[in-house]
Structure 1
């Protein structure tokens, strides 16, 4: 009985608050939404938003986690974007941690794709990479070695990752 009364009071209170809001107040609410998005861990760059997840997962688990947030593992289209993703990682960890991004050649060796379907036109490969060591390196991570470059690595290894969404 108490739950029904509390629910009814809560609904009535929300209805009164909504009815009392002047049009200017609604504009403020939209600005609040943008502020909340910024504080939720997403960083905007151009028309895309990035989020660093510091939980080590396999590449496939990381992609599934990104999809849960309506995103994908990050694709990289130029050096500026690569540097931006590095900054997202650095701000979260105060270091340049080795991190999954959305590149893979698991479908066919040597044909790299971005998981979000964008064209693979840019890569900042480390020297001698991708090398498909032991014929089992089909996923991409970044910030490898002191050069902080891209490397191919087995997909079942566990790393933190960066998601991107529009």
Structure 2
């Protein structure tokens, strides 16, 4: 449905653009201004087309298998951060974003870390770290090297601490500006 809407908007902008180019001096300026407004609206809409809204935030799954730091840097390039989770509803919404993209519950980076201080977990975007859905026995900091958080671990699809150097796909979150 989104693709059809984008196509329709693109066709409308092209038609208006062609008409503006052909419309001589009488009324051509007004038409060109309208085309520019339509183009800006289309560009704004296109940058949100793959993001999923939940509450006042937008989420997007990226299939690239990167380290936690690489994933966070990529999210920042999109004016976002690795996703934080505030409650179970939001956790499930992020799972749906992943499932729609992969048709599975793939282990995926989130923005949680205790790399600065052991057992002091925080979200990279500054959200208070109040909600957890840890797997049984987690976080366990196995081998004293597990400082990053991923979700959909094991059949329980819960949170797990794991080495930040592992490579997983990730979910970014951002607010609309």
Among 63, 67, 77, the alignment partner of 1:54 is: 63
1:153 aligned partner: 162
2:97 aligned partner: 88
TM score, norm. by length of structure 2: 0.78
1:4 aligned partner: none
1:76 aligned partner: 85
1:36 aligned partner: 46
The whole-number CA distance in structure 2 between the counterparts of 1:102 and 1:70 is 14
2:151 aligned partner: 142
Q: Which runs of 5+ in 2 are unaligned?
A: 1-19, 22-26
The whole-number CA distance in structure 2 between the counterparts of 1:60 and 1:78 is 24
The whole-number CA distance in structure 1 between the counterparts of 2:46 and 2:28 is 21
RMSD value, Cα: 2.8
Counterparts in 2 of 1:92 and 1:119: CA distance versus 1, 3 Å: same
Among 64, 77, 88, the alignment partner of 2:73 is: 64
Among 104, 117, 121, the alignment partner of 2:130 is: 121
TM score, norm. by length of structure 1: 0.83
Counterparts in 2 of 1:65 and 1:22: CA distance versus 1, 3 Å: closer
Q: CA deviation at 1:118?
A: 1.1
Q: CA deviation at 1:19?
A: 2.7
Partner of 2:109: helix, strand, or coil? strand
